[in-house]
Amino acid sequence: MASQLDQDQESNQSDFDLLDALRSAIDARDAELARQLAGRMLDDDALELLEDLTGHELARLFAFLGEESLGQLLARLDHRDAAGILTRMSATQAADLLEAIEPDDATDIVQVMTQNDPETAENILVAMEPEDAAEIRELMPYDEDTAGGMMTPEFVAVYPDLRADETVAALRSVAEEISNVQYVYVIDREEHLLGALSLHKLVLSPPQTPVGQLMSTEIWSVRADEDQEVAARLVTERSLLALPVVDDEGHLLGIITHDDIGEIIEEEATEDMERLGGSNPLDVPYMRATPVLLFRKRIVWLLVLFFAQFITVSIQEHYEVMLAQVTLLAVFIPILIGTGGNVGSQTVSTLIRALAVGEIQSRHVVRIIGKEALTGLLLGIVMGVLMFGRALLVGDAKDVNLAIVVGLTILVLTTWAATVGSVLPIMLSKLKMDPAVVSAPFISSFVDGTGLIIYFTLAGYLLHLG
């Protein structure tokens, strides 16, 4: 352990060294070295170090790297960090950088700046090329987590009577502005989306054919206010390269490109996993989260569970007479409720994930609960026999009846935990609520209370207590 920490201090040191080296390179106006060091930051996932540079140092780095390279680095950063950096630069440099970043990412950054410092944000937008600024202003109203917030207005749309070769010529003329075309969209004069065709198809079809004849009209699209997760799932399941985004009347507003999809899926899985652990989603990269933020995200569920556990305390108080009669009963409480909680946690995590990726629908509820209850029973038989054996070894009395109580409790409790762990998420999903609120700690706490009742009821009956 000591050597682990030593090594780590070395590596931490090297983060600071990297920053120092970059500062020296900037001071010495060594553009080539600065470029190399920025590249190393990218490779080491240490771009957040850029945040520590002063406005003056950033201005020089901009001169060395150029807007394209520096813009790409900023686009890789969390957009809150990127906003912080841009705010410290001159409006013209910040504007050049934003122009070099994809419009949907640039919009996220400007949204943060507008919240923190609307005046600076406006100055930067004014300093941008009018066209690029207009794109960002168009995207600003859409919430970050919606399809509209993920879309880019950089797409190619043509009327259906344009011929394939004319379309290729048109593409050539916008090649500078639009970095990567997968599909050409076909719209009518009112900009309603009619269809789409792939670049592949366009290039490889007879040059004289109108695109209206080449296009596919059976295409997927999403509405701008749809959740980004829905868009991501659609792109993944249907293997799309890009997904058009439309308004209520079917006007084409923008497209979501495949390169955003991986990010969305990762983001959603991160949120689900944090919820499963019993915390509210952080919504920021971990290294940005302060202890106060971590505290705020965790205390809510902790308090809910804490008050729920008061019930557990009351239940145990209720059975205090029994505990006083047979103090050995208390010895088994942790292992009993622990095992019940573990089975509940296993069940819940499996089912919440299966619901999230659409492997199960709530209409399968009867089959699922049956399967889980049976699994819980199987686990209970094995664990109950083991528990019985272990309980025989506890205390001097070698009390067979106590061992039976403990073994039987495990059997009933694992079956119960697996059943509850499957019923709760599916019920929530049926009620259109997020099943992920049934976290591992939630189900454990729930099983704790009910487990004690099962335990003491069996004990009272089989040991003739109470």
335 lies in the binding site for a second copy (CB under 8 A): yes
Site for a second copy in 63-102 (CB under 8 A): 76
Instruction: Provide φ and ψ at 325, rounded to 5°.
Output: -70, -45
- Closest approach, Cβ 262 to a second copy, in A, equals 3
Residue closer to a second copy by CB (options 208, 239) is 239
Binding mask 20-59 for a second copy (x = CB under 8 A): ------------------------xx--------------
Q: Does 5 bind a second copy (CB under 8 A)?
A: yes
CB-based contact 152:254 (threshold 8 Å) = yes
Task: Give the DSSP letter of residue 162.
Answer: S
User: DSSP state, 177?
Assistant: T
* C-alpha–C-alpha distance, residues 96 and 306, integer Å: 52
- Cα(153)–Cα(148) distance, rounded to whole angstroms? 10
422 lines the binding site for a second copy (CB under 8 A): no
Smallest distance, Å, CB 336 to a second copy? 9
Helix axes 103-116, 79-87, angle to 10 degrees: 60
3-state secondary structure of 185: strand
Nearer residue to a second copy within complex by CB, 134 or 308: 308
Name residues contacting a second copy, limited to 113-152 (CB under 8 A): none
Shortest Cβ distance from residue 87 to a second copy (Å)?
23
User: Rounded to the nearest whole angstrom, what is the least distance from the CB of residue 290 to a second copy in the complex?
Assistant: 8
Applying CB under 8 A, does 361 fall inside the site for a second copy?
A: yes
For residue 133, the minimal CB distance to a second copy (Å) is 23
**Contact string 282-301 vs a second copy (x = CB under 8 A):** x--xxx-xxxx-xx--xx-x
Task: List, in order, residues 6 or more apart from 395 with CB less than 8 Å away.
Answer: 328, 331, 402
**For residues 224 and 256, is the Cβ–Cβ distance under 8 A?**
no
Identify the residue among 119, 358, 432, 464 touching a second copy (CB under 8 A).
Answer: 358
- 174, with CB counted inside 10 A (0-12, 13-18, 19+), is exposed
- Pairwise CA distance, residues 242 & 183, whole Å: 7
353 binds a second copy (CB under 8 A): yes
* DSSP 8-state code for residue 176: T
Q: Are strands 242-246 and 252-257 parallel, antiparallel or unpaired?
A: antiparallel
> In whole angstroms, how close is the CB of 114 to a second copy at the nearest point?
25
Contacts of residue 440, defined as CB under 8 A and 6 or more positions apart, other chains included, come to 276, 277, 278, 341, 344, 345, 348, 349
Which one, of 222, 80, 251, lies nearest residue 149 by Cα?
222
Q: CA-to-CA distance for 395 and 328, rounded, in angstroms?
A: 7
Count of positions on this chain that bind a second copy (CB under 8 A): 132
Examine residue 343 and tell whether it contacts a second copy (CB under 8 A).
yes
Question: Closest CB to a second copy among 26 and 41?
Answer: 41
Cβ distance to a second copy smaller for residue 6 or 117: 6
* Ranges within 238-277 binding a second copy (CB under 8 A): 239-241, 258-259, 261-263, 265-266, 269-270, 272-274, 276-277
CB atoms within 10 A of CB 152: 22
C-beta of 119: minimal distance to a second copy in Å?
32
Q: Which of 29, 40, 371, 398 binds a second copy (CB under 8 A)?
A: 371
Q: Would you count residue 400 as binding a second copy (CB under 8 A)?
A: no
Q: How far is the CB of 66 from a second copy (least distance, A)?
A: 16
DSSP 8-class letter at 466:
-
The answer to the question of residue 345 lying near a second copy (CB under 8 A) is yes
Cβ-contact 381, 335 below 8 angstroms: no
DSSP state of 145: T
**Identified binder of a second copy from the candidate list 430, 433, 461, 466, rule CB under 8 A:** 430
> Which of these ranges, 27-35, 138-146, 357-365, 457-465, lies near a second copy under the rule CB under 8 A?
357-365
Query: Of residues 303-332, which lie at the interface with a second copy (CB under 8 A)?
Result: 303, 305-306, 309-310, 312-313, 316-317, 320, 323-324, 327-328, 330-332
Q: Quick one: residue 399, left, alpha or beta (phi over 0 = left, psi -120 to 50 = alpha)?
A: beta
Judged by beta carbon, residue 251 or residue 297, the one nearer a second copy is 297
Binding residue (CB under 8 A) for a second copy from 383, 402, 413, 428: 383
Nearer to a second copy, 89 or 372 (CB): 372
| Interface with a second copy, residue 192, by CB under 8 A | no
Longest dimension (CA), the chain: 95
Among 130, 190, 334, 432, binds a second copy (CB under 8 A): 334
Distance linking the first and last C-alpha atoms of the chain: 50
State which amino acid sits at residue 7. Q
Task: Tell the smallest beta-carbon distance from residue 316 to a second copy (Å).
Answer: 5
| Chain CA centroid to CA 428, Å | 20
